[in-house]
Amino acid sequence: MSLRRVISALRPEIRTYGDLNLAFVEHSHVLNALSDFHFDGIVVKDPGLISEIRRSDQLYLKPILWEEGDCAGADGTFDKDQPTRITHKIQKINEAAEQFVGLPLPGNGNDRLVAKLLRLLISRSTPLSPRATRDRRIGYALDMLENLSVEQDQLQLIKFLNHYTDKGYFRRKLMDRVNLCYECESGYLNFSECCSSCESIDLKSEQLIHHFRCAYIGPESDYKRGEILECPKCNHVLKHIGIDYDKPSEIHTCMDCNHTSQETAMKAKCVDCGRDNALDKLSTHAIYEYRVTESGTEFSKSTRNQMQPNLMMDASDSDEYVPFAVYQILRSHESRKQDLYENGLSELRISVSEQILGSLNSGLRKGLLTELAGIVKPYLKHQDILSINTDFQITILLLNYSGEAQQQLRDMLEYNLDKMLRDNQWTRDKAVEISISLLES
């Protein structure tokens, strides 16, 4: 391929429609070059590009148009037959987003994420509304937030939103409640009647018949004599319901244990993991719509506690981890007294694949690792020390972990982080590697 063709492939295609300049992007490698061009919106046809654009600190506020049909997370659809139909909407978004141009973002991973979300919602004059879909475990998607975050577990995202609702940044409105599997928290449940004795679903149900004349009550099968109903007690033929007899209720017979009862139990079988859930054991979660409050608007414009232009790994403003220089001091201090720990000290390192980090500049690398550190932190003990080193690795000092506990933590973190990054289309290959080494005094 000639040098001219290589350079052309790295340049975005900018098309003009009246007063509208649109960048057409088909591949992610073009995104890094977009900041050198003037355009009003971005047209894509790969849904994975929406997430990449929203995660870019330079591009996340830009209007995104879907080239064909509808796509959740896009700001609208590009109509090639009437391309200027979307002009007014794009202009309104860009005018509203202008108030955030030049404002830095917080250095803290979660604050940074919520600031970007607030700015997106304000510039679009829209709430964050849950979208019903079969593509999510809980049956609802939070598209705008999912596109911004590497975390793709909707329950964790709801927890995140409720945290910032409690801080006053959002006002929420109840939209639904979902019942989820106790084991895997999936909403795909099959509800069935079952035996109240053995929980088998193999039930035979039939009507109870009450014969008025002799007061006998029994299942309909007791009365059946070919095509007629005949009372087994007095042998009288029953002809007219409401005159000779009535059917007050049903009776259920279990074909496995022969238990007979007028009452059945209910259970919910999870389609995803196969667990049978008693109804009172289901996990119930509220689904909300979130609107930005005045406090949220103020926070979105705040320049307090913002990340400085320095791209070194100095995270003194982060609640998720300690600066690496501090980590080294603490590591040295703990190493000198590790004889006090029954299982000693070990160091766990999380390395994100070069395929992912190599596509990001230093600032975006730090943003990604900060967000991952926030996800990792809840899995740790409160005394563990978390940092990010100068090689862009998440480094954790583990205090007093047995060999088995270390392996369990390693396997759990590696599986969850790798799955999260791959499910979010950062890469199709292995996304993270985790190593553990013992520290010597």
The mean pLDDT value of the chain amounts to 86
Instruction: Give the pLDDT confidence score for residue 4 in this predicted structure.
Output: 41
Q: Rounded CA gap, 409 and 413, in Å?
A: 6
- pLDDT tens profile 297-319: 999 998 554 433 332 333 334 55
Which residue(s) pair with 20 in the sheet? 17
Please give the structure tokens belonging to residue 142: 């939070």
- pLDDT tens profile 408-432: 899 889 988 888 887 777 778 888 9
3-state secondary structure of 33: helix
Instruction: Give the pLDDT confidence score for residue 196 in this predicted structure.
Output: 87
Least confident of 31-35, 269-273, 367-371: 31-35
Radius of gyration of the chain from its Cα atoms, rounded to whole angstroms: 30
Find tokens 């972990």 and name the residue: 401
How would DSSP label each residue in 211-226? ETTT--EEEHHHHEET
From start to end of 281-425, where are the E strands?
Answer: 283-292, 345-352, 385-388, 393-399
Q: Please choose, from the candidates 299, 289, 298, 300, the residue with its C-alpha nearest in 3D space to the C-alpha of residue 126.
A: 289
Q: Rounded CA gap, 337 and 400, in Å?
A: 12
Percent of the chain with pLDDT over 90: 40
Instruction: Judge contact between 297 and 86, C-beta under 8 A.
Output: no
Instruction: Give the pLDDT confidence score for residue 5 in this predicted structure.
Output: 42
Instruction: Give the pLDDT confidence score for residue 319 in this predicted structure.
Output: 55
- pLDDT tens profile 173-183: 999 999 999 88
Question: What integer is the mean pLDDT of 49-56?
Answer: 90
Higher pLDDT, 268 or 105: 268
Please give the structure tokens belonging to residue 55: 């995660």
- pLDDT tens profile 124-143: 999 999 999 999 999 999 99
Please give the structure tokens belonging to residue 172: 């929420």
Instruction: Give the pLDDT confidence score for residue 306 in this predicted structure.
Output: 41
Instruction: Give the pLDDT confidence score for residue 378 in this predicted structure.
Output: 82
- pLDDT at position 216 over 70: yes
Asked whether the CA dihedral 152, 155, 156, 161 is positive or negative, the reply is positive
Task: Give the pTM.
Answer: 0.62
Q: Please choose, from the candidates 414, 406, 409, 394, the residue with its C-alpha nearest in 3D space to the C-alpha of residue 437.
A: 406
Number of Cβ within 10 Å of residue 394's Cβ equals 25
Question: What integer is the mean pLDDT of 373-394?
Answer: 87
- pLDDT at position 8 over 70: no
Instruction: Give the pLDDT confidence score for residue 349 in this predicted structure.
Output: 95
